[in-house]
Amino acid sequence: MTYYSIDVEKTQAAGTHLTNSQVDNYLKVEFDVTAENTLIDNMTKAAEEQAEEFCNLCINQHDVTLRISDVETDNGTDYVQFNLPYRGTISDLVVNSVYQGTNTLIASTGYYIKGKNTLVILDLNSVDTDYLITYTVAPSNLPIGLDVAIYKLIGDFYTNRTNEGIAQVFRISEGTRAVLSPFQDVKSWI
């Protein structure tokens, strides 16, 4: 078994998977008011981000940075493996080992992707190593039912919006959890 600490950062999506007009149609918004469009766009971004986090699934393209530290293995192997966050199509993968603050690029022959999102690193410098991993992840074959769950989230946000307690609004309701659950992947990278 491998033990480690992980810090995950991802860039904000440049856009949204669902367009403003699609969401307006779902919400039955019939007017074009800039303030309302901005609100709906922000709710769409928040809903898609929550769905990504809940499902561990890439809905919009992101650059991801992983800082993995305190890696210890107790299985006697000469490799480690990590499940990469946000299932999707991975590109621009760069893997560095980090020792005493110095990054060393691991050649592409020193690692590979197994399955959809498991990174296997073969080039171990020591038993206890830190890693800096960067990659771009893009959506891949998103199921249509996921759109329904995102629409439901946006509808929850829009229906329950208030000037006070806005942070409470941006939570996933039990009904929406039920719709999102079939797309959920266990976050074994935490």
Q: How far is CA 149 from CA 83, 91, 98, 130, in A?
A: 25, 27, 40, 37
Residues 82, 52 share a domain = no
For residue 151, the model assigns a pLDDT of 92
Q: Is 7 among the domain residues?
A: no
Q: Is 125 among the domain residues?
A: yes
Residues 67, 130 share a domain = yes
Q: Is 20 among the domain residues?
A: yes
Q: Is 132 among the domain residues?
A: yes
Q: Is 190 among the domain residues?
A: no
For residue 37, the model assigns a pLDDT of 82
Mean per-residue pLDDT over the chain, rounded: 82
Residues 88, 133 share a domain = yes
Q: What pLDDT, in 10s, does the model give residues 87-145?
A: 899 999 999 988 888 888 988 898 999 988 889 888 665 545 789 999 999 998 888 88
Residue closest to 93 by CA, chosen among 70, 78, 110: 110
CATH number at residue 34: 1.10.3230
For residue 163, the model assigns a pLDDT of 55
- Please give the share of the chain, as a percent, with pLDDT higher than 90: 24
- DSSP structure class, residue 188: T
Q: Is 148 among the domain residues?
A: yes
- Does the structure show a pLDDT above 60 at 58? yes
Q: Is 163 among the domain residues?
A: yes
For residues 45 and 18, give the distance between their C-alpha atoms in angstroms, rounded to a whole number.
Answer: 9
For residue 48, the model assigns a pLDDT of 93
- Does the structure show a pLDDT above 50 at 170? yes
Residues 67, 51 share a domain = no
Structure tokens at 97: 């080992």
Dihedral angle, C-alpha 135, 141, 143, 149, nearest 10 °? 30
What is the residue range of 155's domain?
13-57+142-183
Q: Is 42 among the domain residues?
A: yes
Task: Choose between 171 and 53: higher pLDDT.
Answer: 53
- Does the structure show a pLDDT above 80 at 69? yes
